[in-house]
Amino acid sequence: MNYLSRAKDPAFWATVRESEVYRPLREKYLARWEEECENTPPIGIRFSDWKKFFVTGERIERNYFGARQQMMAAAFLSLIYPEEEKYLSRLEDQIYQITNEYTWAVPAHYRSVLEGTPPKRVIDLFCAETAFALSEIIELLGDRLHPFIVRRVKEELEERIVRAMDEVEAFGFESMSNNWSSVCAASVAAVYMLVFPDLFGKVKPRIDAAMALYLTGYHDDGVCLEGPGYWGYGFGFFTYYADMLYDYTGGKEDLFLLPKVRNIATFMQKTFLTGSTIVSFSDGGRTGSFNVGLLHYLKRRFPEDMILLSTEFKTGRDGCARFAPALREFIWFDEDMYMHPEEGSAEFEFLGEGAGWYIKRCPSYGFAAKGGHNREPHNHLDVGNFIFARDGEQLIVDLGPGAYTKQYFSAERYKTFQASAWAHSVPYFGEGTQKPGKEYASTPPVLEGCRLTMDISGAYGMEELKSLKRSFAMLPDGVRLTDSFDYVGTEVITERFITLTEPKVDNGSIDLGKCRMEYDPDAATPEIKTEELKNGSICYLIDFELKKGKDIFTILIK
């Protein structure tokens, strides 16, 4: 296919090899080779690791992804250094190991197999991504790989993808409006387009339906409720498919012309609060960056809307060894765009009315708050939660995801600290906190001038709580939060704030280093508690217990 024409050109890879601008990527994969391949044999899956998820709930997947790390490093180094036989030899060995795996699904996504579904009839995220990677690798390197290896890949793609799609009426991803529908559908489509193009017409209606469903997961405002990281994942794969489809149909089908896709494309750039610090609601990380190839591609598609932010090649380790975004970091990269970024720290304000997200960036600070409901994708009990950031750091924080375990994605999710209401900057009443469920929601946030207001009482499901109006006044040097309670219960009202900076309490103020919280000591008394997170870091919980008879709480953060 023409979309890979750049990657098929030996002159392009000679440029990658010789150009200074590509040096970070060269060094990344050379270092990966030294660390994970040079003195390590090809990786296979160990049963002892595989079964651990079902025993303890831990996701021990290092061998699964380690095999794909080796495959990815060997594939790129084979393209960059074609004369080095060791890279191609390792690529063949690792592909052989992967094609012989019992299943390409990871244990956490394996329930249907345990219930009797044949292992090669399961398409989860990573089965799909593995198939996508193998399809592109044999398209790029098939004439150099041993014919047996190419045949093994095609046999397994036919068995695990084509026959699976023929025999299974509908996979789980075909009923999901989150990253699963996009990632799996794009990956399956790539297998057909690249390896079985004559069969693509048969499966295309299912692919298009899954992509249409994926888009329904977004409101018209373009906010990704799963968080910015999942935007890069899900919308990234949507973009890969849209690009492949445009090429496959000779430009007759262009998914970027669909309504709201433009707003979705510009979501990520809205989430930067200060430096690389981003909005981390739901299971989003506290820092982030664009895949440089994806950014440059979207800038070409939406030149008037995308901000060409300064970004670097991803030189860190992608724990899931995703080949598709890694390849596009090479082939979609534009040196002129890279060398001439645009200013991305200008004052900015955004209210996503459908999602209930508000984001503000100004010279003094970055701020974000959310309404919404408590059954969102990757949901946390966080209606009314907010973030205050300054100088490249969240100070009042949203911790983001907890450890991905069996329990975290089960009915026990809200017993884990980071998904619970206890881990968010929202009030609680005695032991009463927010409840899970779509019906537990805020009113739509309203922005009037410099004040954002919402009623978050609906998130608690408490008859005694008649209203809880939370408002944020945006000031030049900070934010004033005011909570007004109509509460007829008897429990003590406590306002909680979450930070990773050790608080220093004085009379009427709390020092958090780069910001200060100012409060009325006659209205509430602060208490500092701690929580040790799974990564070993300490989270500080600042609890203000409202004095009896007080129904308004105000605090200035500046």
Residue 312: predicted pLDDT: 79
Spans of all domains in the chain: 2-339, 348-557
Task: Reply yes or no on whether the pLDDT at 311 is more than 90.
Answer: no
Q: What is the pLDDT of residues 403-444, one digit of tens each?
A: 888 889 888 999 999 999 999 999 999 999 999 999 999 999
Query: DSSP state, 84?
Result: -
Q: Decide if domain 2-339 falls under CATH 1.50.10.100.
A: yes
Residue 116: predicted pLDDT: 63
Q: How confident is the model at residue 242 (pLDDT cuts 50, 70, 90)?
A: very high
Query: By C-alpha distance, which of 516, 438, 510, 526 is closest to 478?
Result: 516
Structure tokens given for 138: 């044999």
Task: Reply yes or no on whether the pLDDT at 8 is more than 70.
Answer: yes
Q: How confident is the model at residue 384 (pLDDT cuts 50, 70, 90)?
A: very high
Q: Please state the pTM of the whole predicted model.
A: 0.94
Q: Write out the DSSP string of 344-403.
A: --S-EEEEETTTTEEEEE-SS-EEEEE--EESSTT--S-TT-EEEEETTEEEE-------
Residue 6 has, within 13 A of its CA and on its CB side, a CA count of 11
Query: DSSP state, 488?
Result: -
Residue 118: predicted pLDDT: 77
Task: Reply yes or no on whether the pLDDT at 76 is more than 60.
Answer: yes
Residue 495: predicted pLDDT: 98
Task: Reply yes or no on whether the pLDDT at 1 is more than 70.
Answer: no
Query: In the predicted model, what is the mean pLDDT of residues 311-315?
Result: 77
Query: In the predicted model, what is the mean pLDDT of residues 43-50?
Result: 81
When the pLDDT of each residue in the chain is averaged and rounded to a whole number, the result is: 94
Q: Which of 45-59, 153-167, 405-419 has the lowest mean pLDDT?
A: 45-59
In a 10 Å sphere around its CB, with 0-12 CB exposed, 13-18 middle and 19+ buried, how is residue 102 labelled? exposed
Task: Reply yes or no on whether the pLDDT at 253 is more than 60.
Answer: yes
Q: Write out the DSSP string of 141-206.
A: HTTTS-HHHHHHHHHHHIIIIIHHHHH-S--GGGG--SHHHHHHHHHHHHHHHHH-GGGHHHHHHH
Q: For the chain, state the CA radius of gyration.
A: 25
Considering the chain, what percentage of its residues have pLDDT values greater than 70? Answer: 98
Fill in the amino acid letter for 359: I
Query: In the predicted model, what is the mean pLDDT of residues 225-232?
Result: 93
Residue 81: predicted pLDDT: 98
> Going by C-beta distance under 8 Å and a sequence separation of 6 or more, which residues neighbour residue 411?
none
Give yes or no for a contact between 420 and 461, defined as CB atoms under 8 angstroms apart: no
Q: How confident is the model at residue 63 (pLDDT cuts 50, 70, 90)?
A: confident
Bridge-based pairing state of the strands 366-370 and 373-374: unpaired
Q: Which CATH number fits domain 348-557: 3.90.740.10, 3.20.20.120, 2.70.98.70, 3.40.50.620?
A: 2.70.98.70
Q: What is the pLDDT of residues 111-126, one digit of tens each?
A: 655 566 777 888 999 9
Query: By C-alpha distance, which of 273, 295, 294 is closest to 285?
Result: 273
Q: Which helix (H) or strand (E) holds 308?
A: none
Q: Distance between CA 276 and CA 489 in Å, rounded?
A: 43
Structure tokens given for 178: 């989150």
Q: What are phi and psi of 482, to 5 degrees?
A: -130, 125
Q: Distance between CA 184 and CA 127 in Å, rounded?
A: 8
Q: What is the pLDDT of residues 267-301, one digit of tens each?
A: 999 999 999 999 999 999 999 888 999 999 999 99
Considering the chain, what percentage of its residues have pLDDT values greater than 90? Answer: 83
Query: In the predicted model, what is the mean pLDDT of residues 210-231?
Result: 95
Q: What is the pLDDT of residues 167-186, one digit of tens each?
A: 999 999 999 999 999 999 99
Total residues found in the chain within this entry: 558
Query: In the predicted model, what is the mean pLDDT of residues 132-153?
Result: 98
Residue 535: predicted pLDDT: 85
Residue 60: predicted pLDDT: 64
Q: What is the pLDDT of residues 461-484, one digit of tens each?
A: 999 999 999 999 999 999 999 999
Give yes or no for a contact between 126 and 109, defined as CB atoms under 8 angstroms apart: yes
Task: Reply yes or no on whether the pLDDT at 90 is more than 70.
Answer: yes
Residue 405: predicted pLDDT: 86
Query: In the predicted model, what is the mean pLDDT of residues 548-557?
Result: 94
